[in-house]
Amino acid sequence: MNRQLNLDAAKAVNEYVKVITEWNKLLVGLNVVMGGGCLTILQNSAAQGLTRTFLVLAIVAFVISTLFSVLLMGQALAMFTNISQLPTSEESPPTLDRWSNTIIKILTRLQLIAFILACLFLGIWVTLKLL
């Protein structure tokens, strides 16, 4: 019975890391494409004043979101490595470290906030450009 609990806990940790990895792949892809598009527009246009400011803020927010993605993946992989190296005994199934879990939650929230801010700045830039 306890051996089955150990296997279930290990599978849950593995699934947790897979979900974080897939989330990061999606968000990094969006950040690179959207940030690269903003950078191309910034280089090829004569945007000045407020429109240029919001375009630069969008690029910076996309870069910050990508940096949080890197930190998040590093933390998730370190956590997975630590969990997979723990000896599985009958009494203690592998579990997520409370601090690792908290750090991952904080990094995920910061990453999402930076991405939303980047999209907001990009939306403001588009609105200003259309006016």
Average pLDDT over residues 7-34: 83
Residues 6+ apart with CB under 8 A from 75: 100, 103, 104, 107
Rounded distance between C-alpha atoms, residue 47 and residue 23, angstroms: 33
Average pLDDT over residues 61-89: 78
The single-letter code of the amino acid at 71 is: L
Rounded distance between C-alpha atoms, residue 10 and residue 14, angstroms: 6
What's the pTM value of the predicted model, to 2 decimals? 0.77
pLDDT band at residue 51 under the 50/70/90 scheme: confident
- Residue 116 vs residues 7, 84, 110: alpha-carbon distances, Å: 37, 34, 10
3-state secondary structure 73-118: HHHHHHHHHHHHHCCCCCCCCCCCCHHHHHHHHHHHHHHHHHHHHH
Domain of 11?
2-130
